[in-house]
Amino acid sequence: MPKLVQWMFPQRVWAFHASEKEVYLTFDDGPIPEITPWVLDELKKNNAKATFFCIGDNIQKYPEIFKRILSEGHSVGNHTFNHLNGWKTSTSAYLENVIKAENSMRKNSELRIQNSELFFRPPYGKITSKQAKILLKKGFKIIMWNVLSYDYDANVSEEKCLQNVLKNMKSGSIIVFHDSKKAEKNLRYVLPKVLEFAKNNDCKLLSI
């Protein structure tokens, strides 16, 4: 993510300051049965934690997977109910969709109700300043990223996807993957290798 963009929107979280080797894996667009359980299995095998930015409609369809994410010690964030593009959606409709997703999260876990921090990531990274300002006032932390894997892009090879992560990852990085059908081919290749790289380099993989 260009430094200029990060500078223009300082209230959004792009990365963390880390004194040790610490990296934050995030997964957008789930949960779905085709890929999210596999992601959880891989994380568990490597004693890694992550943050899942969930679509409300998917939580409603697959509540048990959502509950598993939380029960295994990962954190969750709101990714709207219908994966809306904020630039193409009115502020009122966008906020209504975010709250609908939040209600779905709360309905499916007492842990979510106890969680005082509300994380939000705008689908496509696209949100208007007005939408963001209102969400910040409502107590949401807007979590962006500084490393994008492009796992969802069919034109990006498995190896290129891997290098997108390894060449740009540094302490405090927030890395974006997707537990989605579109990203499955690249993700199944890349995630185990990133987890192995982190283990071999004494890098902690943490949830936000």
H or E element: which one contains 198? helix 184-200
C-alpha–C-alpha distance, residues 67 and 143, integer Å? 21
Give the Cα-Cα-Cα angle 151, 156, 159 (nearest 5 degrees). 85
Q: Which two tokens stand for residue 60?
A: 């409603």
Which residue type, as a one-letter code, is found at position 165? V
- Active site (catalytic) residues: 28, 178
- 3 exposure class (CB count in 10 Å sphere: 0-12, 13-18, 19+): exposed
